[in-house]
Amino acid sequence: MPIEYYLIVAAILFSIGVLGVLTRRNAIIVFLCIELMLNAVNLTLVAFSNHVQNLDGQVFVFFVMIVAAAEVAVGLALIVAIFRQKETVYVDEINLMKW
Amino acid sequence: MLETVLFFALALLAVTAAIGMIVHRSPVYSVLMLIITLFSIAGFYVLLNAPFVAAVHMIVYAGAIIVLFLFVVMLLDLRHESDRFTLTKFSRVLAFIAFLVFLGEAILLVKVAFIDGGLDIGLGGQVSQLGDTPSIGKLLFTAYLLPFEIASVLLLVAIIGAVILAKQNLKPSQ
Amino acid sequence: MQDYIWLIPFFPLLGFLINGLLGKYLSEKVIGILGSAMVFLSFSTAVVLFFQLTQLDPENRLFINTLYTWMATGSFSADVAFRFDALSAVMVLVVTGVGFLIHVYSIGYMHGDRGFARFFSFLNLFTFAMLLLVLGNNFLIMFLGWEGVGLCSYLLIGFWYENPEYAYAGNKAFIVNRIGDFGFLIGIFMIFGYFGSLNFDTVLSAAGMQPEWVITTICLLLFVGATGKSAQIPLYVWLPDAMAGPTPVSALIHAATMVTAGVYMICRTSAMYVLSEVALSVVAIIGLLTALMAATIAITSKDIKKVLAYSTVSQLGYMFLAAGVGAFATAIFHLMTHAFFKALMFLAAGSVMHALSNETNIDKMGGLKNKIGTTYRTFWVGGLAISGILPFAGFFSKDEILWKAFSSPFGSTVFWAVGTLIAGLTAFYMWRMIYTVFYGESRVDKEVALHIHESPKVMTVPLIVLAALSTVGGLVNIPHYFPMFEHFLDPVFMKYINPAAFEASHGSFGLELTFAAISLVVAFTGIWLAKVMYVQRRELPDKIASSVKGLYTLLFNKYYVDELYDKIIVKPFVKVSDAFFYAFFDVKIIDGIVNGSAKIMDSIAGVLRRSHSGVVQFYALSLVVGAIALFGYLIFG
Amino acid sequence: MTDLPLLSITIFLPAIGALLLLFLKDSMEQLQKMLALIVSALTFIVSLPLYFSFNSNTAAFQFEENYTWISAIGANYHVGIDGISLLMIMLTTFLGPLVVLSAWNAVHKSLKGFLISLLVLETGMLGVFASLDIFLFYIFWEAMLIPMYFVIGIWGGQRRVYAAVKFFIYTMVGSLLMMVAILFAYFYVGEQTGTYSFDYIHLRDFLMPVEIQKWLFLAFGLSFAIKVPMFPFHTWLPDAHVEAPTAGSVILAGVLLKMGTYGFLRFCLPMFPNATFIFAPLISILAVIGILYGAWVAMVQKDVKKLVAYSSVSHLGFVMLGIFSFTHQGMQGGLIQMVNHGLSTGALFLIVGMIYERRHTRMIEDFGGLARQIPIFTTFFMIVTLSSIGLPGLNGFVGEFLVLLGTFQTNVTLAVLATSGVIFAAVYMLWMFKRVMFGPITREENKRLTDLSKREVAVLVPIVVFIVWIGVYAQPFLGKMEKSVDSLLAQLKAKQTALVQPGNEIIGGGE
């Protein structure tokens, strides 16, 4: 299968992820979309690794996963902490940083 | 031939699941949709001769991260969200435009693939180098040893961070 | 004895420093004696030098004494140097002689005044500055003295500074003088520009080589300075207001010495003036006009000192007329005689005011003839002298001017005719004042009349001496028989002028006698008219005044000149610079730009600040937009 | 005696003094004041041999010290003085102790900071006048800004922050332009001659083509014009002066304003001679406008300090006119006028400061009839006013006379207009003097005014001595600068003809 198809699918998934991040109010859903975007990137990595016949791409996917895992851990902890204090998870109500 | 059929099926599945995830009203269903997408991506990995990555992917993502999400969703028992999209109409329109632009790029890639005869950046080496476990393992512990160690430190930090955040006894501010 | 000239100005300077610094600790007597002694010392040095000067033969009667270089840059160098020749000898003797008498007089007049020490130190400073002016060997030292006397007149006019009008008068004097000095300064620059040096000998000897227009402009510029200092049209407005100062000041500065500085300057640079017809005629005409105008105003003036002030302006006009027709020696002669009798009359007026506890309005005086006898008699002598009655000084000097105005090549019959008319007017307004003050019934109000007393000895003695000088002064220069004064002065003037310029003076000796007779007759008619109007038939002046109502009010308000200047120059100037320059230009335009740019910066920042709305999506969106832009550039760039 | 690095000691002694001040506790105010006074007096004493053993018949730089500093870019610590900068340095060290003395009990808020700023300011100023390396010059030029900003900003009047910021930005904009010009010159000359160095003589002797000279002249000129201040760039001066404390105003008027004119003399004229001749008419016209405009606006001021500030604009207009007349008399007149202005306006600010300390107001109508109340004060005020009017016999006249004499030879109309400035000077100063000193006492507070204390008299007497000395015997000062001005003029003439030769190729290394 020519690599472009994989890239197209990855691009579509990525766009959907972006759309989700920009429109959804619930922080968790935003988090999910970010995960989706990360996976789309992983897909392109592996696609290229296969196309170029070099394993580095796949190794890199590992590291992306590690980072994703760390990010989810801390992110969700944050969301929980915010929820415990402000009773809400909706992103546009958490705007303490307004000028 | 089987491979292309399988590819299109997985592709279709992944995209619909992704759309379902961002559209669905209840967060639990969104998480489930995401799991389906992850399955399809794992499928792609296998198609791309990367069985080890597919395996690790399923374990780490589907197994750990999504479970964590489910756990948090259950913990905060978020029910139906009334208005799931952001308030300002203005940002929704902008978001949609952003989506279209990204699609534009995808289409562009299609143009490159079909009309200009594909990306010829790669060196068409032999297929033998399969993404099997020993070759990736060897690579991990030789060329990428340093990043590997740093990754472990990163995970440790993340764990500590999460613990501290959770421990704060924050009183709800009225 | 040549290098002791610097002693003459040094003594008054010493007097100024001692009285100025230690004045508080000295008693009035000591201050008075010290001040007068200093002037007397410089007078005696001047006399000694004068006699040594006369030993030399007329051609090279000149002492020069250079102290040090004041400043030297490139080709320009000016050093502090004094020059003692016939002209400056006469001036120094007049300044120190009359000055000494006035110093003695002021001991009595200023008795009991809080600023006694300050008054005497300023008087000495004035004498020092005047001597510098007169003794200077280059234009710069003369200018130094020139502004120095301007400063002292400012200090002394505004001496009683508690009264705002007096302080205003002081300011007015200094600023009007400064306008005159502006012209003088530009003249000095031109002189240096074209002659390369400022000292008199080099400049005056090289005067012939310069083109006509250069000489004329320089002379006119210097004349602007002279009008400022010697109160001629258009810059005479400050002199009448200068009467705000104490009377000895008016006597010394505004009658005898400072105001004559202009005449001295023109005589000193006579070599240049003779070369330019235009300049001489301008000097003569302005002198004549000023004399006429001042005489007319003096007729209607009610204040005793103002009358004398306008009379001074008028007499100065005479001197400028004399200089304008090339009779420089006669101008100086009149200057000397005028110093005598005008100082006498001011001091006499001072003792009248002293007697009437400072009353200056002549309508509130009268019948003082026998109450203050000596003052009356000396005033009487002064009146005769100024009207030009035979034996007295005024006759010889004024008559000589009228004769020269007619006979000199630069003069004309018109000058003579108008001059004689003015002589008549002078006699009339002077005797009008004498009769109103000393004759008729006393209009002095009651409590003032109680303690009318004759002034103390220390005031009357100078009056008597001056009266003597006014009578004897004229004999120094009787035309044809004993013109000793002119012979003494002529070498100074003839040194650089070729005598050819003066052959054309016409007119026989007989004509001269007839003119003298005519001027005598005119003077007597003036006195007789005054006697008729102000002694016998008192109602006449009011009747005449009412008949020529318009003219009278015009004269009474001094041709509205002061108000005119104020409205045309001063008021609009202040308003323009306040409204336009400061409020509008400086604050609005320049500050506007500066503050404006600050405001723009502030408003731009305001807009940007709103972008931090705190909504996470917005940040994400800007992130995405950035990414898209980057891709767009990469793909299409 | 010359082995001792005299010049560097004079420059850095105040800075060392500032350092010592740091060790004193805030409570020991008396000790701090004494130390500051001793240090500034010492600087003056150390600078005296600079004046007396200055050999005035050579135009070369004397007391030169040249150590490599940053060899990489060719910037070295190169200081030296000649006729032009000598008087400026003496003026700075002379005013130093007087300023400290004048702020004796005027400043109570963190006195130590104030004294340190004054001393650092003095070092900055001395550095600017003595440095012969443009990089070093620029550093001192900027270093001088900061303490002045603090002096106005912290110890000033009500609107001090606005004034301080305005002062800082005005000067900063100028000096940034100058920075660009310095760098451009550095690289251009370096590239042409091969040696990259900031040394003043190296840059000065290289003759740039007229086009480049024009731009560099404008850049340097703008920065100096703001400092002078020339006509359109002067609005910072009244605010800075009104809001600055007395000591600040004295230093600002006394020395800081001379930085601009000194800059023109040291950098603009010798380095860009052809551009100077091209821009001279424009600058002379601006100078004359400055003279007349400054005088007219001063006439209508309600606040004494603002009046004196605008009079400074007028006086420095004379200096600029003199410098750009390119005649011996004009230039030397300009230089002497710089010193005179420092003395007379410095003294004026001291005097205004003294009545401000007693009455805490600067408005003219709050005064009136003070002459009877405080006679000693009146005599000092009278002498200084007359000196600033330019009365012959006092220092103002010598400067103004020479400037006008020089300008008359090059441009008659401008000289005549400038001479009329002499009248306006008399008008606004005497009018102010009358309203403040003469007339009856209108206000109650004026009745209880105390006359000058011993300290205040001690501050004013030395200035008055110099005012009279320069007025009566100006030759020693003129003699000191004679040779340097001659050589500057000769250079200007030589370079102008050098470049105008046909072919207009760049003739490197003029005389």
Higher-pLDDT residue of C222 and A53 is: C222
The domain tally of chain A equals 1
Mutate to test the interface with C, among B22, B87, B96, B101 (most CBs of C within 10 A): B101
Nearest to B151 among A8, A15, A63 (CB): A63
Cβ of residue C628 closer than 8 Å to a chain B Cβ: yes
The rounded distance, in Å, linking the Cα atoms of C34 and C43 is: 14
The residue range of the domain holding B164 is: 132-169
The domain tally of chain B equals 3
Using a CB-CB cut-off of 8 Å, the residues of chain C touching A91 are 615-617
Cβ of residue A91 closer than 8 Å to a chain C Cβ: yes
Statement to judge: residues B40 and B66 lie in one domain: yes
Token pair 């292309």 in the structure block, residue: B4
Nearest-CA distance C603 → chain A (Å):
16
Instruction: Report pLDDT for D183.
Output: 92
Task: Check pLDDT > 70 for residue B131.
Answer: no
Inside any domain, residue B165: yes
CA of C608: how far to CAs of A22, C604, C619, C622, in Å? 22, 7, 14, 13
Inside any domain, residue B79: yes
CA D404 remoteness from chain centre: 20
Least confident stretch, B79-83, B127-131, C519-523:
B127-131
Q: Are B131 and A13 an interchain contact pair (Cβ–Cβ within 8 Å)?
A: no
The rounded distance, in Å, linking the Cα atoms of C438 and D47 is: 72
Q: What percent of chain C has pLDDT over 90?
A: 9
Tokens coding B2: 């089987």
Tokens coding C311: 């009379």
The 3-state secondary structure of C120-177, one letter per residue: HHHHHHHHHHHHHHHHECEHHHHHHHHHHHHHHHHHHHCCCCCCHHHHHHHHHHHHHH
Statement to judge: residues B2 and B78 lie in one domain: yes
CA D27 remoteness from chain centre: 34
Nearest to B95 among C615, C621, C631 (CB): C621
ipTM over 0.85: no
* A30 → chain B, closest CA residue: B22
Inside any domain, residue B124: no
Q: Minimal CA–CA distance to C479: which of C507, C453, C458, C504?
A: C507
* B148 → chain A, closest CA residue: A63
The 3-state secondary structure of D270-319, one letter per residue: HHCHHHHHHHHHHHHHHHHHHHHHHHHHHHCCCEHHHHHHHHHHHHHHHH
Cβ of residue B22 closer than 8 Å to a chain C Cβ: no
Q: Which residues are CB-contacts of C513 (< 8 A; sequence separation ≥ 6)?
A: none
The rounded distance, in Å, linking the Cα atoms of B132 and A51 is: 16
Instruction: Report pLDDT for D510.
Output: 37
Nearest-CA distance D438 → chain C (Å):
5
Using a CB-CB cut-off of 8 Å, the residues of chain C touching B103 are none
Instruction: Report pLDDT for C353.
Output: 85
User: Taking a contact as any Cβ pair under 8 Å apart, which residues of chain C between 18 and 77 contact chain D?
Assistant: 68-76
Instruction: Report pLDDT for D282.
Output: 93
Chains contacting A with at least 3 CB pairs below 8 Å?
Answer: B, C
* B100 → chain C, closest CA residue: C628
Token pair 């003249």 in the structure block, residue: C187
DSSP class of residue C364? G
Mutate to test the interface with B, among C610, C615, C621, C633 (most CBs of B within 10 A): C621
Cβ of residue C72 closer than 8 Å to a chain B Cβ: no
Using a CB-CB cut-off of 8 Å, the residues of chain A touching B48 are 6, 46-47, 49-50
The rounded distance, in Å, linking the Cα atoms of D126 and D441 is: 44
Mean pLDDT of C592-617: 79
Inside any domain, residue B11: yes
pLDDT band at B9; cut points 50, 70, 90: very high
Inside any domain, residue A47: yes
Task: Check pLDDT > 90 for residue C547.
Answer: no
Inside any domain, residue A46: yes
Inside any domain, residue A10: yes
Express each pLDDT in D396-445 by its tens digit.
899 999 999 999 988 899 999 999 888 888 888 888 888 888 878 878 88
Least confident stretch, C9-18, C285-294, D54-63:
D54-63
CA of D306: how far to CAs of C576, D302, D390, in Å? 18, 8, 20
Touch test B–D: 3 Cβ pairs or more under 8 Å: no
Cβ of residue A44 closer than 8 Å to a chain B Cβ: no
Instruction: Report pLDDT for C630.
Output: 81
Touch test A–D: 3 Cβ pairs or more under 8 Å: no
Residues across chain C: 637
Inside any domain, residue B23: yes
Determine the angle formed by the axes of helices A27-52 and B27-47, rounding to 10 degrees. Answer: 0
Express each pLDDT in D112-122 by its tens digit.
899 999 999 99
Using a CB-CB cut-off of 8 Å, the residues of chain B touching A11 are 102-103, 105-106, 109
Cβ of residue A93 closer than 8 Å to a chain B Cβ: no
Mean of per-residue pLDDT scores for chain C: 84
Nearest to A92 among C609, C617, C621 (CB): C617
Here the contacts of D135-138 (C-beta below 8 Å, separation 24 or greater) are D135/D70, D135/D73, D135/D75, D135/D182, D135/D198, D136/D69, D136/D75, D136/D76, D136/D77, D136/D78, D136/D79, D136/D198, D137/D200, D137/D267, D138/D175, D138/D178, D138/D179, D138/D182
Question: What CATH number does residue A21 fall under?
Answer: 1.10.287.3510
Using a CB-CB cut-off of 8 Å, the residues of chain B touching A95 are none
The rounded distance, in Å, linking the Cα atoms of D95 and D371 is: 27
Mean of per-residue pLDDT scores for chain D: 87
DSSP class of residue C361? B
Q: Tell me how crowded residue C445 is: count the other CB atoms within 10 A of its CB.
A: 10
Express each pLDDT in C156-178 by its tens digit.
888 888 888 888 888 888 888 88
Separate counts of helices (H) and strands (E) for chain A: 3, 0
The sign of the dihedral angle between the CA atoms of D293, D298, D302, D307 is positive
Statement to judge: residues B100 and B61 lie in one domain: no
Chains contacting C with at least 3 CB pairs below 8 Å?
Answer: A, B, D
Task: Check pLDDT > 90 for residue C549.
Answer: no
Query: Regarding beta strands C76-85 and C62-73, do their DSSP bridges make them parallel or antiparallel, or are they unpaired?
Result: antiparallel
The rounded distance, in Å, linking the Cα atoms of D85 and D93 is: 12
Instruction: Report pLDDT for D461.
Output: 93
Inside any domain, residue B126: no
Mutate to test the interface with A, among C610, C616, C619, C625 (most CBs of A within 10 A): C616
Task: Check pLDDT > 60 for residue C487.
Answer: yes
Task: Check pLDDT > 70 for residue C81.
Answer: yes
Determine the angle formed by the axes of helices C164-195 and D395-410, rounding to 10 degrees. Answer: 40
Is the CB of residue D334 less than 8 Å from the CB of residue D407?
A: no
Express each pLDDT in C378-409 by its tens digit.
888 888 888 888 788 888 888 888 888 888 87
Tokens coding D178: 């100058």
Mutate to test the interface with B, among A35, A60, A85 (most CBs of B within 10 A): A35
Higher-pLDDT residue of C185 and C407 is: C185
Phi first, then psi, for residue D79 (nearest 5°) are -120, 155
Q: Which residues are CB-contacts of D167 (< 8 A; sequence separation ≥ 6)?
A: D148, D149, D152, D236, D239, D240
Is the CB of residue C309 less than 8 Å from the CB of residue C222?
A: no
Q: Minimal CA–CA distance to D393: which of C145, C36, C163, B96?
A: C145
Task: Check pLDDT > 60 for residue D303.
Answer: yes
Mean pLDDT of C410-416: 82
Q: Of the ranges A48-52, B27-31, C515-519, D213-217, which is most confident?
A: D213-217
Is the CB of residue C625 less than 8 Å from the CB of residue B91?
A: no
Express each pLDDT in D479-489 by its tens digit.
888 888 888 88
Touch test C–D: 3 Cβ pairs or more under 8 Å: yes
Mutate to test the interface with B, among C622, C624, C630 (most CBs of B within 10 A): C624
Statement to judge: residues B152 and B105 lie in one domain: no
Cβ of residue A89 closer than 8 Å to a chain C Cβ: no
Express each pLDDT in C256-311 by its tens digit.
888 888 899 998 888 888 888 888 889 999 999 999 888 888 888 888 888 888 89
Instruction: Report pLDDT for D334.
Output: 92
Q: What percent of chain D has pLDDT over 70?
A: 97
Q: What percent of chain A has pLDDT over 70?
A: 93
Touch test C–B: 3 Cβ pairs or more under 8 Å: yes
Q: What percent of chain C has pLDDT over 70?
A: 98
pLDDT band at D503; cut points 50, 70, 90: very low
| E strands present in C432-526 | 477-478, 482-483
The residue range of the domain holding A37 is: 3-91
Task: Check pLDDT > 70 for residue B116.
Answer: no
pLDDT band at C115; cut points 50, 70, 90: confident
Task: Check pLDDT > 60 for residue B118.
Answer: no
Interface residues of C toward A, Cβ cutoff 8 Å, are 609-610, 612-617, 620-621, 624
Nearest to B18 among A16, A67, A74 (CB): A16
Determine the angle formed by the axes of helices C86-109 and C484-494, rounding to 10 degrees. Answer: 120
Nearest to A13 among B18, B56, B112 (CB): B18
Cβ of residue B74 closer than 8 Å to a chain A Cβ: no
- Distance in angstroms between the alpha carbons of the first and the last residue of chain B: 62
Express each pLDDT in B26-52 by its tens digit.
888 888 999 999 999 999 988 888 888
Least confident stretch, C440-444, D151-155, D251-255:
C440-444
Task: Check pLDDT > 60 for residue B174.
Answer: no
Instruction: Report pLDDT for D502.
Output: 43
Q: Are A24 and B84 an interchain contact pair (Cβ–Cβ within 8 Å)?
A: yes
Q: Are C624 and B88 an interchain contact pair (Cβ–Cβ within 8 Å)?
A: no
Size of interface A-C (CB pairs under 8 A): 31
The rounded distance, in Å, linking the Cα atoms of D307 and D313 is: 10
Inside any domain, residue A79: yes
Q: Minimal CA–CA distance to A67: which of D474, D73, B158?
A: B158
Higher-pLDDT residue of B134 and D406 is: D406
Q: Are C174 and D430 an interchain contact pair (Cβ–Cβ within 8 Å)?
A: yes
Separate counts of helices (H) and strands (E) for chain D: 22, 2
Cβ of residue B86 closer than 8 Å to a chain C Cβ: yes
Inside any domain, residue A33: yes
The rounded distance, in Å, linking the Cα atoms of D246 and C409 is: 65
Inside any domain, residue A97: no
Nearest-CA distance D169 → chain C (Å):
10
Tokens coding C188: 């000095």
Q: Are A18 and B166 an interchain contact pair (Cβ–Cβ within 8 Å)?
A: no
Instruction: Report pLDDT for B129.
Output: 55
